[in-house]
Amino acid sequence: MTSSLNIALAQTNPTVGDIQGNMTQVETLTRRAAGKADLLVFPELVTCGYPPEDLVTKPSFIAAIRKAVDHFVQRTADLDIHVILPTAWEIDGDLFNAALLIHRGKIISTHIKWKLPNYGVFDEVRLFKNNREDAPFKINGICCGLLVCEDMWFPDKAAALKEQGAEIFLVPNASPYEFDKHGQRLGHAQKRISETGCPVLYVNQWGGQDELVFDGLSFIADRDGNLTHKAAPFSDALMITEWQKDDHGNLTCLTPDSVYQKDDTETLYTALVTGLRDYVNKNGFPGVLIGMSGGIDSALSAIIAVDALGAENVQCVMMPSRYTSTESLDDAKAMIDAIGARYDIISITDTVDSIESAIKDTLPPQPSPTTFENIQSRARGLILMALSNANGKMVLSTGNKSEMAVGYATLYGDMCGGFNALKDLYKTQVYTLSAWRNSHRPAGCFGPQGIVVPENIITKAPTAELKDNQTDQDSLPPYDELDAILHGMIEKDQGPTELIDEGFAAESVNQVWRLLHLAEYKRRQAPPGVKITPRSFGRDRRYPITNGYTKSHK
């Protein structure tokens, strides 16, 4: 006798700490799926959002979650649908990353996450207990096993559930975006399928949460490991599929295949837009302020902001000094004309003169030229922060990963800001994305089509314009060389010897090695920004500021 089961995956965008708002989403989708699906699966920790960090150490927070869950159970008692509701859940005084099976006004069973990640941005070991006991459950004669996020990346829980009769795996996730992360997820799913013969239904949250951005890309892989369904990234989705078990126990999905075809560059760009949009909107800012320079970094930051928030919520401020070229002024104006944001020009010449005059009697006889260069940057930071205080808009800083890696940024100057969309982008990627955006506008972006970053901004030599005839390459290797060296040092943890052996110039490698570690104190004070690589600056890469090893090691 055949058995059938309609399973829905709810790809949602929860907000950390907004228990009421998250549960409103959950109830709305539950009512929408009722009558169409027998089982509805939500992403990991959907009740409180992910990652909740130390919010879950507050007894009042856990009590609020339980109250909200109890309310949901009561309000949906009239609906004939099973719901997998992942949540932080306290049992006998211990806190678990759990998933509740709810049906007809009752919590039928509680399932505990086994594998608690404790690397990179994850620190679940300090927050949750794990439990080596779990069992599958049956709905309509089909036995379902639950693997919560990291559980799918290892074979033991899937094997244990298979031994107890599991025929299909449901995988609630809160898996942050990284470039090509989807391929890793699918690869682990296919390993579990090859070991057990069980199809995998993977549901992931989407949206921005501080430095993390979640891409969604929920998917289904059949018992042969074939990818049959995949949701679009960075958007709500309710994927409903029908499964049938034949007399031989084989499970087949009867719903026609539907696989979203992704473009990697578009997904990367949309990750930056989503991360900024949710940071601004979820924190209640009325818009953003950007210091325009006529250079590539502020240009890309500006179009990302317009795409994320709309031109009416973006204010760009050009702050020329005595060193600002006519070319930069023209390029900045051309950029603004293209994207339609508000544009203000505030000269810093008198401000800089005033500061220099105020401190001249206390300076040493021959102060470092950097003293006067940084006054300009800090004058701009002062103006932007004053405007932010006045109108409530958040300052969006514009430095890229290459600059932050080597300290090519000014504390309390161009590093001022509440967020940085480019924080994890190397300089060469900034150029690539700027050129790409001139011929593409992803769905959901508010900015215009066509040329939005003037060609001259892309082709001219980058410069901070803090002194006459200055270019970045006066003090740094060319960016293609710099970024390749930095990628080796940061993403691969390579030392100078390894990179020199690969053919990089010893002078450049040793210079970058020294600058990378000298700038650690600056990075500790940098604003948060969208994480797109496995080794973003922050919790992914933790180095001491006072560090004798890196100063002497070659």
List the structure tokens of 91: 């049992």
Residue 553's pLDDT is what?
53
CATH 3.60.110.10 domain locations along the chain:
3-255
Sequence-distant (≥ 6) Cβ neighbours of residue 439 within 8 angstroms: none
pLDDT at 5 over 60: yes
Percentage, residues of the chain above pLDDT 70: 97
pLDDT band at residue 526 under the 50/70/90 scheme: very high
Single-letter amino acid, residue 288: V
Give me the pLDDT at residue 468, please.
60
Q: Is the peptide bond before 320 cis (omega within 30 degrees of 0)?
A: no
Residue 113 annotated as catalytic: yes
Strands 212-215 and 206-209: antiparallel
Confidence (pLDDT) at 247: 81
Q: How far is residue 487's CA from residue 104's CA, in Å, rounded to a whole number?
A: 53
Cβ partners under 8 Å of residue 487, min gap 6:
426
Q: pLDDT tier at 369 (50, 70, 90 boundaries)?
A: confident
Burial of 347 (0-12, 13-18, 19+ CB in 10 A): middle
Mean pLDDT lowest among 43-47, 216-220, 274-278, 325-329 = 325-329
User: What is the SS3 assignment for 280?
Assistant: helix
* Phi (first) and psi of residue 471, to 5 degrees: -135, 155
Reply yes or no on whether 163 is catalytic: no
Q: How far apart are CA 335 and CA 49, in angstroms?
A: 37
pLDDT digits (tens, 9 = 90+) for 102-138: 999 999 999 999 988 887 788 888 898 987 788 999 9
Average of per-residue pLDDT values in the chain: 92
Residue 460 makes CB contacts below 8 A (sequence gap 6+) with 327, 331
Percent above pLDDT 90 for the chain: 82
Compute the distance between CA of residue 394 and CA of residue 417 in angstroms, rounded to an integer: 7
Please state whether 93 falls in left (phi above 0), alpha (psi between -120 and 50) or beta. Answer: left
| Residue 331 clears pLDDT 50, i.e. is over it | yes
Range 400-410 average pLDDT: 93
Is residue 116 within 8 Å of residue 69, measured between CB atoms? no
Report the SS3 class of residue 264: helix
Catalytic, out of 44, 124, 178, 520: 44
Contact yes or no for 21/51 (Cβ under 8 A): no
Catalytic-labelled residue, pool 48, 143, 149, 316: 149
Helix (H, G, I), strand (E, B) or coil at 347: coil
Per the CB < 8 A criterion, the answer to whether 319 and 346 are in contact is yes
Instruction: Tell me the DSSP string of 55-123.
Output: GGG-HHHHHHHHHHHHHHHHHTTT---EEEEEEEEEETTEEEEEEEEEETTEEEEEEE------STT--
Q: What is the CATH architecture assignment of 266-468?
A: 3-Layer(aba) Sandwich (3.40)
pLDDT band for position 441 (cuts 50, 70, 90)? very high
Architecture per CATH, 3-255: 4-Layer Sandwich (3.60)
Specify the pLDDT at position 396: 97
d(CA 117, CA 175): 11
Q: For residue 416, give both structure tokens.
A: 């001022």
* Separation of alpha carbons 316 and 343, rounded Å: 5
User: What is the arithmetic mean of pLDDT over 82-88?
Assistant: 98
pLDDT tens figures, 40-51: 999 999 999 999
pLDDT at 552: 47
Please tell me which residue in 48, 113, 157, 181 is annotated as part of the active site. Answer: 113
Which two three-digit tokens encode residue 249? 């126990």
pLDDT tops 70 at residue 550: no
What is the reported pLDDT for 461? 76
468-521 residue pLDDT tens: 655 656 678 899 999 999 999 999 999 999 999 999 999 999 999 999 999 999
149 given a catalytic annotation: yes
Q: What's the whole-model pTM score?
A: 0.93
Q: What is the DSSP string of 448-466?
A: PSS--S-HHHHHSPP---S
pLDDT bucket at 467, cuts 50 / 70 / 90: low
Structure tokens, 406: 């080597």
User: Distances in Å between the alpha carbon of 447 and those of 272, 333, 338?
Assistant: 14, 16, 9
Choice between 170 and 182, residue whose per-residue pLDDT is larger: 170
The residue-averaged pLDDT of 189-194 equals 96
HSE toward the beta carbon, residue 45, CA cutoff 13 A: 25
pLDDT of residue 2 exceeding 70, the answer is: no
Residue 366 has pLDDT above 90, yes or no: no
Q: What does the pLDDT read at residue 438?
A: 97
Residue 83: the pLDDT is 98
The pLDDT of residue 545 is 84
H, E, C per residue of 147-200 = CCHHHHHCHHHHHHHHHCCCCEEEEEECCECCCCHHHHHHHHHHHHHHHHCCCE
Per-residue pLDDT of 139-158, as tens digits, reads 999 999 999 999 999 999 99
Contact 7, 83 (CB under 8 A): no
Size (the chain), residues: 554
Give ranges for CATH 3.40.50.620 in the chain. 266-468
Asked if 167 and 201 count as a contact pair (C-beta separation under 8 A), the reply is no
How high is the pLDDT of residue 65?
97
CA atoms within 13 A on the CB side of 122: 14
